[in-house]
Structure 1
Amino acid sequence: MNIIIAGGGKVGEVLCSELSSEGNDIILMEKNSKRLNALISKYDITGIVGNGASYDLQMEANVPKCDIFIAVTSQDEINIMSATIAKKLGAKYTIARVRNPEYTKHLDFVRESLGITMMITPELESAKDIMKVIKYPTALSVESFANNRVNIVELKIKANSPLRDMSLKNFRTRYGNILVAIIQRGDEVLIPSGDDFLREGDHIFVVSSLKEVNKFYKLIGDNRAKMKSVLIVGGGRITYYLINMLKEYKMDIKVIENDPEKARELSDVFPGIMVIHGDGTDQEFLEEERLEAYDVFISLTGVDEENIITSLYASQKNVKKIVTKVNRTLLLKIFGTMGLQTVVTPKRVIANSILQFVRSLTNTSVSNVEALFRLADNQVEALQFKVKETSRVINKPLEILPIKNHLLIAYIIRGKKLIVPGGQDVIKPNDHIIVITKEKKYDDIDDILK
């Protein structure tokens, strides 16, 4: 597909990397010539120096002939204007990143009025992800499929866990409809078989309904009480969206913000919330604010290193749930993940949404990509397909389908039925299928076949 991206920042770079690696023709529009040249030399893309909202520049980039135009500059107004001009010029689909809460209050109205195909707010989506792990305290991450009917939940095997050293054959016998879809063991990631064992320190990704997962928590003795209090360091946009969600959950909320003007603004918008002006990365200050008394600690400053270090300190203080914002995920390999629990990466959130959209357009005759998530440090994809009558996977027992290696058909959703498939099960037209794979670039259910 011919895709034009306006903006070569953190999100723009991720999109250039991911979309070019999947065989798309990418043109990047970026005002900073040094930044543009660096990305052109790094990825298989071409580029034009200039403002993505310029009519002349869009004509030079041949926007009227492009399949998708994506505006992800640092300015909402430029993104909205760029996407609107691109649509008027004839781009088939347009996507704009919008971050300002003033715009997101009326996102659908703005999108429909201007004819923009998709408007994405990474901070809002990140806040939703954080809220999921607060609602389900044992989980390190939660991804939802089929309108929240099926979920992939990340858990860690602890030293005292009854799951430690258990074979997956015994796991399935004991826990029924809970399916272990992924095992992450250090840098190694497995799509496991029944012969594999669970080890201390493993991160496992289980697939089931949340009702079944909650039963599973009780069976393994890890059914934690509801989180009642939260301490947030950093008063940016994610915090703004998150406070609105936490208020509905009736939690005791405290926010620490180092910028006095930001702290004052946040206090004015949320008069019932305790907002403290101070340095939330100062360990003595955190002790004064009684960090150890809170159920949840969330570090959302604009500096990755500070978020990691304060989260590690919260771990030393035995805070039950810790959430850390990290954009440069390479830092996790440098610092290690000891003490970190849930890591949120806003640029990855928006990239996954756009990748899902792009793949959903690629092959609609056999199946549609309805959901896409990257798991286990971006090494595994979980996809949901809607299967059509023309697919080669239908009406054959799964045990005879020539399915590729390192791949798992995790769930079949058939109307109101949720099916954990066995060898005798078959896929039927209109089924929704959840596939877990280490191989990327799948845009069609038939791609699972050898």
Structure 2
Amino acid sequence: MRVLVVGAGDVGSNIAASLDDDHHVVVIDTDPDRISSITYSHDVLAMEGDGTSIETLRDAGIERADMVIASTDIDETNIVVCGAAKAVSDPFTIARVRKTTLFGTWTQSEGAFGVDFMVSTNLQTAETIVRIAGLPGAHDVETFADGLVRMAEFEIGSDSPIAGETVSEADRFEALTFAALLRDSDVIIPQGDTEIRDGDAVVVIGSKESVRAFAGSLSPEPTLEDAREIVVVGGTDIGYQAARLFEAEGLEPRLVERDPGRARELAEQLPGTLVLESDATDIDFLVREHVDDSDIVVAALESDEKNLLVSLLAKRIGVKRTIGIVESGEYVDLFETVGIDVAVNPRLVTSEEITRFTRKQRTENVAMLESDRAEVLEIEVDADSVLFERRIQDAMAGLPAAVVVGAISRDGELITPRGETIVEAGDHVVVFVDTDVLETVIEAL
């Protein structure tokens, strides 16, 4: 497939890196430094030019393009790119936008703006926050098989109850599979005697109940269902969307916004949220409003530095868990080290959603882990699959070692896979795969 990516920032670069192994990727950007950087870092054709220009698109081979992905930081530019592409050819177009108003307009009018698929950065980020908030200690959470199967990634610290245990010792949950350990740059497919170490990230796949129970065994923090108090700091669009989604979960969050006009606006739009007009970086306010009793504080202010400050203040007064927006990807690890329990990067969330969509042409659902070091796929089994009417242990003998069948959904029921389990036609199989062998596994399954 020939893919044109317009915009070589964090989003475009991540998308190009995810696609360059299997597709012919052309990246367009107006910044010569970005073009130079991506030329040396990825196996793509990089061109300096204006993606809204039909001449530039023609130079990039728009007539032969199967897909155009507009991923600049400007919503209107991305929409114009898609419209220009449709004017001279008929590729599948994907646009990244921040404004949820534009996304709302697009969803109500099929094909609006010449965009075939649109990703709302702010909404995707808010959805990610709510998913992560639902499981204590989780750094990544996805659902599969119409919600029957859940995948989650947990960081293991030195004080974790399973640090130093073997996988067999830690495996105390009926409908749970330990799919992988992510250790430094290695992806480890665990055996029963594999030791879980401090610093590992553990990926588990199983029923919603088992994954929740596993999360509870790692941390005393409450799940979203048990959370008594959630505070969203910042009336940005991400903050508003997060509060709205928490309301949809039956919760009554509090939202802190400094600007009086914006606070009034949010109070009208969020009937289930208590909106407080104040500066959340004022520790006296945090103490006075008993923010220290909160189970979760979400920092969604307009700058990374303010989000870090709010998170540090929240932890200082006793808040159990903080989730913060970090726009600069290079700060994510640093901020998680010094004060934010989970840092969510909107650009990474967006690039993963776009890449996930391109993958879903061949699978039912996809989740990417650790910047696409590994993926979890949902695949419906048919007669062409290597799993069809075979025991899992027999089918896996012909596949790379870096593959784990984590769960099976059959007629709306969850089956925890074992070596003797026979896979049937129509089963939805949730599989962990190291991206180094992704194409081989997808072809076989």
With the shorter chain as reference, the TM-score category is 0.7 to 0.9
- Say which structure, 1 or 2, has more relative contact order (CA 8 Å, 6+ apart): 2
Q: What are the superposed Cα offsets for residues 22-72 of structure 1, whole Å, 9 maximum, x if unpaired?
A: 242222232334443443344333344443233333233321220101112
The answer to whether residue 380 in structure 2 is matched with residue 386 in structure 1 is yes
Q: How many residues align?
A: 440
The answer for the alignment partner of 2:410 in structure 1 is 414
The answer for the alignment partner of 2:347 in structure 1 is 347
The answer for the alignment partner of 2:240 in structure 1 is 240
Deviation at 1:148, TM superposition (A): 1.3
- TM-score, structure 1 length as denominator? 0.84
Residue 204 of structure 2 aligns with an amino acid whose one-letter code is: V
Deviation at 1:151, TM superposition (A): 0.4
Change (3 A) 1:436 1:259: same
Change (3 A) 1:161 1:41: closer
Mapping of residues 143-182 of structure 1, within 5 Å: 143-157=142-156, 163-172=162-171, 174-182=172-180
Between the aligned partners of 1:165 and 1:34, the Cα distance in structure 2 is 46
8 Å CA contact 1:360–1:443 kept in 2: the answer is no
- TM-score, structure 2 length as denominator? 0.85
Mapping of residues 266-281 of structure 1, within 5 Å: 266=266, 269-270=269-270, 273-278=274-279, 280-281=280-281
* Larger CA deviation: 101-110 vs 260-269: 260-269
Change (3 A) 1:309 1:61: same
Residue 12 of structure 1 aligns with an amino acid whose one-letter code is: G
Deviation at 1:397, TM superposition (A): 2.6
Q: What are the superposed Cα offsets for residues 298-324 of structure 1, whole Å, 9 maximum, x if unpaired?
A: 122343344345424433333122112
The answer to whether residue 19 in structure 2 is matched with residue 19 in structure 1 is yes
Q: What are the superposed Cα offsets for residues 188-227 of structure 1, whole Å, 9 maximum, x if unpaired?
A: 6532111113345654222111123345567778473622
Residue 292 of structure 1 aligns with an amino acid whose one-letter code is: D
Change (3 A) 1:25 1:410: same
Secondary structure of 2:245's partner? helix
Between the aligned partners of 1:140 and 1:39, the Cα distance in structure 2 is 28
Residue 420 of structure 1 aligns with an amino acid whose one-letter code is: T
Deviation at 1:143, TM superposition (A): 1.0
Deviation at 1:422, TM superposition (A): 1.7
Residue 120 of structure 1 aligns with an amino acid whose one-letter code is: V
Deviation at 1:150, TM superposition (A): 0.4
Change (3 A) 1:434 1:249: closer
Between the aligned partners of 1:435 and 1:181, the Cα distance in structure 2 is 8
Gaps of 5+ in 1: 362-367
Deviation at 1:441, TM superposition (A): 6.4
Change (3 A) 1:44 1:258: farther
Deviation at 1:288, TM superposition (A): 5.7
8 Å CA contact 1:373–1:382 kept in 2: the answer is yes
Q: In the alignment, which of 392, 398, 401 is matched to residue 405 of structure 1?
A: 401
Structure 1 vs Structure 2 CA RMSD: 3.3
Change (3 A) 1:263 1:220: closer
The answer for the alignment partner of 2:367 in structure 1 is 373
Residue 381 of structure 2 aligns with an amino acid whose one-letter code is: V
8 Å CA contact 1:407–1:435 kept in 2: the answer is yes
Change (3 A) 1:444 1:259: farther
Residue 236 of structure 1 aligns with an amino acid whose one-letter code is: T
Between the aligned partners of 2:417 and 2:405, the Cα distance in structure 1 is 7
Gaps of 5+ in 2: none
The answer to whether residue 429 in structure 2 is matched with residue 430 in structure 1 is no
Residue 247 of structure 1 aligns with an amino acid whose one-letter code is: E
Residue 307 of structure 2 aligns with an amino acid whose one-letter code is: N
The answer for the alignment partner of 1:365 in structure 2 is none
* Larger CA deviation: 283-292 vs 323-332: 283-292
Residue 77 of structure 1 aligns with an amino acid whose one-letter code is: E
The answer for the alignment partner of 2:134 in structure 1 is 135
Secondary structure of 1:390's partner? coil
The answer for the alignment partner of 1:31 in structure 2 is 30
Change (3 A) 1:127 1:25: same
Between the aligned partners of 1:185 and 1:46, the Cα distance in structure 2 is 33
Deviation at 1:93, TM superposition (A): 1.1
Q: What are the superposed Cα offsets for residues 154-213 of structure 1, whole Å, 9 maximum, x if unpaired?
A: 3455677654543222444x3222112233456665321111133456542221111233
Taking every aligned residue pair, what percent have the same amino acid on both sides?
25
Between the aligned partners of 1:377 and 1:38, the Cα distance in structure 2 is 19
Change (3 A) 1:183 1:49: closer
Q: What are the superposed Cα offsets for residues 410-443 of structure 1, whole Å, 9 maximum, x if unpaired?
A: 1222332322222222334433222213334624
The answer for the alignment partner of 1:326 in structure 2 is 326
Change (3 A) 1:46 1:166: closer
8 Å CA contact 1:385–1:445 kept in 2: the answer is no
The answer for the alignment partner of 1:191 in structure 2 is 189
Deviation at 1:373, TM superposition (A): 1.7
Between the aligned partners of 1:44 and 1:217, the Cα distance in structure 2 is 39
8 Å CA contact 2:260–2:277 kept in 1: the answer is no
Between the aligned partners of 1:54 and 1:430, the Cα distance in structure 2 is 46
Residue 330 of structure 1 aligns with an amino acid whose one-letter code is: E
8 Å CA contact 2:79–2:114 kept in 1: the answer is no
